[in-house]
Amino acid sequence: MAMSVLNQKTLSKPINISGVGLHTGKLVNMKISPAEPNAGITFKRTDLKKDNLIVPNIFNVTNTNLCTTVANEFGAKVSTIEHLMGAFFGQGIDNATVEIDDEEVPILDGSAKIFVEKINLAGIKISDTPIKIIKIDKKISFTDGSKFISIEPNKISLDIDFEIKYKNPLIGTQRNLVKVYEADLTDIYNSRTFCLYEDVEKLKQMNLGKGGSLENAVVVKEDKVLNEGGLRNKKEFENHKILDCMGDLYLSGCKIVGKVICSQGGHKLTNQLLRKTFIEKSNFSIIEIKQKNIPHTFINRNILKSIA
């Protein structure tokens, strides 16, 4: 067991989850099953007869408008994958097959809470195959107007330093820094997607948010949260953006060692940064974490355990 935390993980048994898609409003059934080492995360659209496998990665992201959508070369797509991917990332699930009978992952309560609970309930199976990590070797930045994101080398952890700035007085400016492999991620997992009351109508006009309700999104009107019970944690808006960021970073396929700094970003900015980073091989290295080739910089074994 001492070393096994550095090995790839999958679920001990399948999980079934059903619910509506946030944007399509359709009922979706999903089954997440264990997968072999090095298989990674694969989506399988069971409603399509063929060409229905979609392997999410940063280069097959086809839409980042309000959620992250990935598609295969045949045009089969799956959307709103970010909260599930964030749960996989945080819980250390390297390999899993996600069968889904429609194009959008269920929104559930708008957070990753239920995904994480179901993963923990099923249990985690540890393989004999070592994990791989991506180590960022150069600082890369991407700017879009006042929005900014960068990734840079870091010793052992993945730090996400994220800031949001809203004109809305209740949301306002919030900033948080999370050390993903060391922190208690409960508040991150539990934080729900959110929108402004005045944007609800706009979403409907764009034919989006059809499954949206106070059951699966925090809705803010002026200085009030319309959801009964209010917020789940003080920085729920901010923490949800960090959950989204984790899910989008996991489209790189591995754990990342680096530091991400972002102001007012989202799915699009994170994807643009990752494309810019991974298009150039000298920006990063992939390390297989075997006991014998642990880089000398990874001196703190306790922290190393938490990465796996």
Residues at the site binding Zn ion, with contacts judged by CB under 5 A:
193, 244
| Contact partners, residue 296, CB within 8 Å, separation at least 6 | none
| 250: three-class secondary structure by DSSP | helix
- Shortest distance, position 218 Cβ to Zn ion, whole Å: 11
- Shortest distance, position 266 Cβ to Zn ion, whole Å: 9
Of 72 and 193, the one with the shorter C-beta distance to Zn ion is 193
- Shortest distance, position 232 Cβ to Zn ion, whole Å: 14
- Shortest distance, position 99 Cβ to Zn ion, whole Å: 22
Strand segments, DSSP code E, in 137-254 are 140-144, 147-152, 158-165, 173-179, 194-196, 218-221, 224-225
Rounded CA-CA distance 71/55 in Å is 8
Of 193 and 239, the one with the shorter C-beta distance to Zn ion is 193
Strands 96-100 and 41-45: parallel
Of 214 and 279, the one with the shorter C-beta distance to Zn ion is 214
Strand segments, DSSP code E, in 81-154 are 96-100, 124-130, 132-136, 140-144, 147-152
Distance of CA 172 to the CA centre of its chain: 24
**Residue 158 in tokens:** 């993945």
Beta carbons of 267 and 242 less than 8 angstroms apart: no
Out of 23, 83, 240, 267, which one is annotated catalytic? Answer: 267
Of 84 and 307, the one with the shorter C-beta distance to Zn ion is 84
- Shortest distance, position 206 Cβ to Zn ion, whole Å: 17
Of 7 and 111, the one with the shorter C-beta distance to Zn ion is 111
Length, in residues, of the chain: 308
Which residue bears the tokens 């991407």? 142
Residue in 51, 89, 21, 28 with CA at minimum distance from that of residue 243 = 89
Residue in 67, 55, 114 with CA at minimum distance from that of residue 211 = 67
Of 187 and 244, the one with the shorter C-beta distance to Zn ion is 244
CA dihedral over 10, 12, 13, 19, signed as positive or negative = negative
267 labelled catalytic: yes
- Shortest distance, position 294 Cβ to Zn ion, whole Å: 34
Residue in 29, 118, 24 with CA at minimum distance from that of residue 80 = 24
Rounded CA-CA distance 52/67 in Å is 20
Active site residues: 267
